Amino acid sequence: MRTKNFAYHLLALFVIAATVLSACGGGGAASNYDWSTATSAADGGGMDALIAAAKAEGTLNVIALPEDWCNYGEAISTFGTKYGITVNSITPDAGSADELQAIIDNKENKGPQAPDVIDVGPAFGPQAKDQGLLAPYKVETWESLDGVKDADGYFYTDYNGVLVFEVNLDVITDVPQDWADLLDPKYAGQVALAGDPRSSNQAAQTVYAAALANGGSLDNIQPGLDYFKQLNEAGNLLPLIANTGTIGKGETPITFQWNYLALANNDTFAGNPPLEIVYPASVNWGGFYLQAVSAYAPNPAAARLWQEFLYSDEGQLIWMKGYCAPARLADMLERGVVPEDLAAKMPDPAILASSVVPSGDQLSAARELIKNEWDNVVGLDIK
C-alpha cells in the first residue's frame, strides 16, 4: 500500500506541476492574463504572448480611419492578414469628438461598435485621458518616438502634416494662393471644409490656421471665426463636408486639407481631375494626431498589438506611403531603413521646420471656443 500511495502522490505532483507550467507562458505570464491591464508587451509575457492573445480574440475594432487617410487601408489589410485578425472599421468619416463619444456610448458593449483604439487630434488626447477613457500603453519602440508623448503612455503622436488648399483644376482656373484670396466673389459656392469644425480636429485646426493668417495668434483664435463668417457671408463657404468623392466630382473644388490627404488624392485621381496643392503664403500650419488605446476596449490584446504594429518599422513605412510623416521618421532615416521613394514622399523639411504647431493646451482652448461660438459667429451648419 505504501508503494502504491507513494506512486499516487508522485503522479499527483507531476499533474500539479504540469498544470502550473501550462498556465505559464514562456515569458512567465499566465495564459489567461488580463491584457486590459498591460502597460507594455512585457507585462503580459512579451510579444509572442501578446500576439497569441490577440489571435485568440480574433477581432480589432477601429474608428474614423478612411482607407485613403495616411494609407490606413493598407495598414488594416496588412495587420489583418499578418495576424489572422478581423478588423472592423467603424464610421470611417467620423471626427475626433465622435471617437470619444463612441467609447462613452459603448463602455458596456463588447460588440463591433465599441472602438478598441482611437486616432484623434491633439486636443482630444488629454481630454480623453481626463475623462478616464484611455488605457496607458507603451509600445516597444517608445524611446524612438518623437513628438507629444504622455509620460505614462496614455496617448502619443502618430504622424504629422501641413495644412494646404486642395484645388480641382477642372473647376478652378484662377488658383488661390492665400487665405485672403478665398474671399473673392469669383469663388462663390466653391470653398469647403473637410469636417465639421465643432467636432472635427482637421476642420477646427483650419479655423485656427485662418486666425493666424488674419491677425490672430496661438492664443487668439477669434479672427479665424470672423474670417469664416466673412467667407460664409460672401457665399463662398459650402455647407458640405468635403471628401475624396466630392473633390473628384467638383462639388467641393477648393478644400482645406492636410497635405498628405491632398497628395494621396492626387495619386488616386491620376490627373482626372487634375489637382493643384497650394501651401498658403501667409502661414504654414503644422498638425499632428495622437494614438491611444481605449480603457474599455473589448479586444484589449488586439488593441495593443495594433499599436505595436503601427509603431514598428513596417507600420511606419505604411504611413509614409500615404505621405504622412510618422513619429519614428528621424530614427528610421538615421538607421537607413527608409527607401528613397518613400523618403521623397515626406514633406519638404523647410516647410515642416517653418510650420506653426500649437501646444495641446492651446488647441484645447481653441477647440472649446470653436465648438461654443461657431454657430453664433459663423452660423453655417457643416454636414
Query: For residues 316 and 76, is the Cβ–Cβ distance under 8 A?
Result: no
CA angle 203, 327, 44 (to 5 degrees): 110
The number of residues in the chain equals: 383
Orientation of helix 201-213 relative to helix 222-233, angle to 10°: 100
What domain range includes position 132? 120-296+314-383
Examine residue 96 and state whether it is found in any structural domain, yes or no. Answer: no
Examine residue 72 and state whether it is found in any structural domain, yes or no. Answer: no
> % helix / strand / coil in the chain, to the nearest 5?
45, 15, 35
Q: What pLDDT does 360 receive?
A: 81
Pairing of strands 59-63, 86-90: parallel
**pLDDT tens-digit map of 80-111:** 999 999 999 999 999 999 999 999 999 999 99
Residue 54 CB partners (closer than 8 Å, separation 6+) = 60, 83, 85, 299, 301, 302, 304, 305
In the structure grid, which three cell numbers stand for residue 262, read together? 491632398
Sign of the CA dihedral running 146, 163, 122, 103: negative
Examine residue 40 and state whether it is found in any structural domain, yes or no. Answer: no
Query: For residues 39 and 153, is the Cβ–Cβ distance under 8 A?
Result: yes
Amino acid sitting at position 269? F
pLDDT band at 2 (very low <50, low <70, confident <90, very high): very low
Residue 265 belongs to domain with CATH number: 3.40.190.10
Examine residue 22 and state whether it is found in any structural domain, yes or no. Answer: no
Q: What is the 8-class DSSP label of residue 42?
A: G
pLDDT band at 347 (very low <50, low <70, confident <90, very high): confident
251 vs 3, more confident: 251
Please name the residue ranges forming H helices in the chain.
2-22, 47-57, 72-83, 96-105, 124-130, 201-213, 222-233, 244-249, 259-269, 300-310, 313-321, 329-335, 340-343, 349-354, 360-377
Examine residue 48 and state whether it is found in any structural domain, yes or no. Answer: no
Amino acid sitting at position 222? Q
What is the C-alpha separation between 255 and 247, in angstroms, rounded?
8
Query: For residues 230 and 181, is the Cβ–Cβ distance under 8 A?
Result: no
pLDDT average, residue stretch 221-225 = 97
Please state whether the peptide bond connecting residue 326 to the residue before it is cis, i.e. omega within 30 degrees of 0.
no
Q: Taking the model in full, what pTM does it have? A: 0.85
**pLDDT tens-digit map of 66-76:** 999 999 999 99
φ, ψ dihedrals at 2, nearest 5°: -60, -40
Give me the number of domains the chain comprises. Answer: 1
Examine residue 89 and state whether it is found in any structural domain, yes or no. Answer: no
Q: What pLDDT does 73 receive?
A: 97
Residue 149 CB partners (closer than 8 Å, separation 6+) = 142, 156, 157
Examine residue 65 and state whether it is found in any structural domain, yes or no. Answer: no
Examine residue 69 and state whether it is found in any structural domain, yes or no. Answer: no
Q: Which residues pair with 135 in a beta bridge?
A: 293
| 212 closest CA partner among 101, 358, 329, 19 | 358
What is the C-alpha separation between 17 and 341, in angstroms, rounded?
55
